[in-house]
Amino acid sequence: MAGSPPERATVDARVLSATQATASPPRLSFRTTALPAGVITPEGGDGGTGLLDLLAGREDVVSWVRHGRGLVGWGQALRLEAQGPDRIEALRSAWRATVYASWWRDALVRPGTGPVALGTIAFSPTSAAVSVLVVPRVLVGLDDSGAWLTTAVADGEAHPEVAEVLARVRPSASAQTGAPSPDAPAVSVGALPEADYLAAVAQVRRRIAAGEARKVVLARDLLVRPAAPLVTGELLRRLGAEYPSCWTFAVDSMVGATPELLVRLEGRRLASRVLAGTARRHAGDAFGREREAARLAQWLAASAKNRAEHELARDSAITALEPLCSAVEAEPPRVLTLPNVLHLATDITGVVAGDTGALSLVGALHPTAAVCGTPTAAAARIIAEVEGMDRGRYAGPVGWVDWHGEGEWCIALRSAALPPGGAGPTAPARVFGGGGIMPESEPADELAETKAKMRPMLTALGAVG
């Protein structure tokens, strides 16, 4: 039942380095079955269940949901791991080898069906964090054509019966709801206290003025220690309800609701969305917030500092994509309005040349100027010297890839690294926020921007009202 204790990875789940999997690929069996109409619905209404509602009470979960559609799953049939400068290519090779060694039955054959792995990748090649691709044992998907169920097992193992899985995907009245504790979580300083972050912004400004870089993205973190054990499924439900237009994701304890699409590949057609340049929103009634959003949108579109910051990020994405595409087009920048902030946004489309897959595009794009700066090497060096922390998977790629290399990847923003399963029920979560530092940046404004970007996760964790 969905109200049973949170599930962990099964003891026979396979964990392999990408090198091991490439040299000796694991053999998996996948089975995709269409689900009856109305069992899974985008909003969970009309007698159906919403995707994120399926995760009630669960810990060992994956999620990739936007506007109620996407993928959720649990259990672990396979975990591929990589570190270092070649981590993305290593995972791509390992996944390709795994697909070639496996077999599957899929009558639907559309994006997200058949063999699928979800991944989260460390921001820096020097990070201690492991980059992973996870194949869930159970994956439930929903798109405009309907819902489906994919199960993954070791070769020779029996697939669970569809009726058995369906009995578990209908949350019962006794399902664990993860109601927030009446006691507020304890929030403590991460790598940099606020005063040190202000000093770091000022230092980066001086280094930009000295010609070391044109833009540097500087982030900070907070530690949130919950008053009661965290339930990942409940955090995802809260994020999905508050930020439906964002991608609500969870992979290997990296959780968030990100607005920034790194790349979507379907057939040979790709899409990307660059976000850079930010205006903070404030609390107020609906009418007041609507007027505020209109005012901020006008200000953001006219801001020379924000336009320059956005142009650098836009150009970095186009430059990375052009060698891999036969055509790349970028729309004029527009303003994207979210509950906590407004961003300048550019939507990019293209046609991939040859058989370039989604993970190859991810490797070419990461890190963009939107999350690192420009020039990339100089900005990354300054981040390592000034930021004072290992970002882990924050601001790294997160998403999914299917059996023929297509998929959808975003940047892990508005996110938190939850404590691993063995760290204890009240181990702290790391919540992240950052902003692009330009020559005109004011330290106090940059600090306030990080607070606005942390708000989605802090609210979901119960740290702010």
Which residues carry out catalysis?
215, 260
* Phi, psi angle pair for 60, to nearest 5°: -85, 75
C-alpha–C-alpha distance, residues 19 and 14, integer Å: 14
Is residue 459 within 8 Å of residue 243, measured between CB atoms? Answer: no
C-alpha–C-alpha distance, residues 172 and 56, integer Å: 10
Place of tokens 């044109």: 214
CB atoms within 10 A of CB 58: 26
Contacts of 153 (CB under 8 A, 6+ apart): 28, 29, 77, 137, 159
What is the DSSP code (8-state) at residue 375? Answer: S
Is residue 419 within 8 Å of residue 254, measured between CB atoms? Answer: no
Burial letters 66-93, b for 16+ CB under 10 A, else e? bebbbbbbbbbbbbbbbbeeebbebbbb
Q: What is the CA radius of gyration of the chain?
A: 21
Phi-psi region of 332 (alpha: psi -120 to 50; beta: other; left: phi over 0): beta
* Phi, psi angle pair for 82, to nearest 5°: -155, 155
What is the DSSP code (8-state) at residue 114? Answer: S
C-alpha–C-alpha distance, residues 169 and 58, integer Å: 12
Which of 198, 192, 209 is closest to 387 using CA atoms? 192
Which of 187, 179, 140, 156 is closest to 44 using CA atoms? 140
C-alpha–C-alpha distance, residues 410 and 264, integer Å: 8
The structure tokens listed for 393 are 């998977």
Determine the length of the chain.
465
